[in-house]
A and B are shown apart, each in its own frame.
Chain A
Amino acid sequence: MDAAVDQTRSLKRRGIFTGRFGDRVFKWTTLLFAACVIAIIALLAYLLVADSLPAIRTFSWRFLSGHTWDPVHDVFGSLPFIYGTLVSAALALLLAVPISLGAAIFLAELAPPWLRNPLSFLVELLAAVPSVVYGIWGIFVLVPFLRPVEAWLGMRLGFVPLFSGPPYGIGMLAAGLILAIMVLPIITAVSRDVLRAVPVSQREAAYALGATRWEAIRGPVFRYARAGILGAIILGLGRALGETMAVTMVIGNTPTISASIFDPAYTMPSVLANEFMEATGKLHIAALMEIALLLFVVTIVINAIARLLIWSVARGAPAGVRE
């Protein structure tokens, strides 16, 4: 009885969804969904370019070199935002890269096996904390903590322009610190994977020649992995350049260019978050769109470079090092 029902069912099913035709439908359907990603990126690029055209036409290159951002008089120069974005990201990398590399070496090479997974998981959790949560922590914990630190630094080193100015707490330094915390997990995790991908033979050869563990890491392992580690750092840079909420909450949002890291600044994503919904002028919106376009172009370039570098290590050896 059951068998008979099954048979009629399977006979009914026999139609377009069996045999080669069904497989072809399957292949093309999944392909269509995969192609959505390309469509999204293409649309994104098109919309950003189309909507920023008024600003590109009006200001051309002056958009990148202008200091003045004045929505009231329709004068838009994005240099302060570009400066703030680059400096805060550089500050973040300066702080995060050494720590990330040390942590990655420990996780990949030195940690006893039972400790590896729990530690890696903690680093992943650091990446999972939402940006706004870092932001609220930054406002109420980090900034008050930084005020006396900045005052002290200003007293001792105030003659250096880098440490001059009033210690607001809010400003470039706070943004750099928050960003450092946020890019640390990605640089650590990717570097760890890259180090793990270095063939054991590289280490064994070094040990066989009498190298200590550190010497093996510093020499062959690092040389083998350096392209990938650079890729990891560039990925971290990409994150730092695009980070929005946490930075917006602690950087002070003032479009000025100042040598001091204590002074408030402004970044490209922050100005988008703060002004986009309030923008009414056509040119104002176009100018913001152009900033978004710049961020998008940077994203593509950074991802292309980072992926190439990481692939060169993780996907088999680069030519010449193999064997």
Chain B
Amino acid sequence: MSALQVGESGLRHLRRKAANGMMWVVAVLCVLAAILPLGLVLYYVIAQGASGINLDFFTKLPKPVGEPGGGMANAIVGSLILVGLASLVGLPIGILGGIYLAEFGNNRFAWTVRFFADVLNGVPSIVVGIFIWAMVVVPTHRLSGLAGGAALGVMMIPTVMRTTEELVRLVPLSLREASLSLGATHWRTVFRVVLVAAKGGVVTGILLAVSRIAGEAAPLLLTAGSTSFWSTRIDQPMPSLPVQIFTYAIQPYDDWHRQAWAAALALVSLVFVLSVAARYATRGRFRMVR
């Protein structure tokens, strides 16, 4: 049928083509509407935060209200320590659990694990915070970096587990067979051959998980708490960038707002770098596997 045809069928044809074109335009508008908030958030974070990013921000402690200057050095270090602690909890469970799912995962137990990992992924972060509060903070009678790390670690598990499983599964069977045929045991095959081949995928999972927890404030409010002093002892309250942004943003002081925006810029930059790196790490791996 061509648009030149006249009569009823031609008209209907034109109408159908018009509907098709309309939907194309609507879909494009939807994509633009979906991406617009990203642009707006980035614009304001950079515009408001750039002026607050200087050497003091990274090296000085927070100043009390009214005194200008100061920085967030303690919160930056605190965030790094918390992410490190979280990795100690989340990575072994996530990676080894993911290996189990990929290698032995065709039974009811494994399906249960997958379902619970999904549930854990969906549990609101504040509820994870309450869980760790009841598990760690109540028995030890204090907010601590350890508790904060545990909360973030629990939140890392589902992401790491899922990506590890998926990428380990992608490793071609021929690689395993080659290793097994040389007399290697199953576990050596997994650690020396399969994991090496799936390295990029595992790294992606870790980076994604870290980028997810690095910005979490809600569970830390109930577990790690906050302080405006240096805190490198993990049995003491530990400040972090997200919590600091929250406390500064809801107070009525301009100077604190400036600091909060600067911290937001630092956090967003960190998270974006991690996301890009995560993508880059798997891109090479997928090519090799396919």
A residues bordering B, Cβ < 8 Å? Answer: 17-19, 22-23, 25-27, 29-31, 33-38, 40-41, 43-44, 47-48, 51, 98-103, 105-107, 110-111, 119, 121-126, 128-137, 139-141, 181, 184-185, 188, 210, 212-215, 217, 235, 238-239, 241-245, 249, 269, 272-273, 276-277, 288-289, 292, 295-296, 299-300, 302-304, 307
Does B120 lie at the interface of the complex (its beta carbon under 8 Å from any beta carbon of A)? yes
Other-chain residue from A51, A140, A273 in contact with B44 (beta carbon distance below 8 A):
A140
A-B residue pairs in contact (CB < 8 Å), sample of 6: A34-B161, A140-B257, A212-B17, A235-B122, A244-B218, A299-B123
B residues bordering A, Cβ < 8 Å? Answer: 1, 16-17, 19-20, 23-24, 26-31, 33-35, 37-38, 40-41, 44-45, 48, 92-93, 96-97, 99-101, 103-104, 109-110, 112-113, 115-128, 130-131, 133-135, 154, 157-158, 161, 185-188, 190, 211-212, 214-218, 221-222, 225, 242, 245-246, 249-250, 257, 260-261, 264, 267-268, 271-272, 274-275, 279
Main secondary structure of the interface of B (DSSP, over half): helix
B112 and A31 contact, CB distance less than 8 A: no
B275 and A124 contact, CB distance less than 8 A: yes
User: Whose C-beta in chain A lies nearest to the C-beta of B27?
Assistant: A106
Q: How far in angstroms is the closest Cβ of chain B from A175?
A: 15
- B135 CB contacts on chain A under 8 angstroms: 43, 47
- B41 CB contacts on chain A under 8 angstroms: 129, 133-134, 137
B271 and A27 contact, CB distance less than 8 A: no
- A130 CB contacts on chain B under 8 angstroms: 214-217, 242, 267-268, 271
Give Cα A111–Cα B94 distance, bound, in whole angstroms.
Answer: 35
Name, among B48, B119, B185, the residue most crowded by chain A CB atoms within 10 Å (CB to CB).
B119
Give Cα A242–Cα B157 distance, bound, in whole angstroms.
Answer: 18
Q: How far in angstroms is the closest Cβ of chain A from B75?
A: 12
A99 and B100 contact, CB distance less than 8 A: no
Name, among B124, B131, B245, B246, the residue most crowded by chain A CB atoms within 10 Å (CB to CB).
B124
- A302 CB contacts on chain B under 8 angstroms: 122
- A184 CB contacts on chain B under 8 angstroms: 34, 37
B100 and A103 contact, CB distance less than 8 A: no
Other-chain residue from A23, A34, A47 in contact with B97 (beta carbon distance below 8 A):
A34
User: Whose C-beta in chain A lies nearest to the C-beta of B44?
Assistant: A141
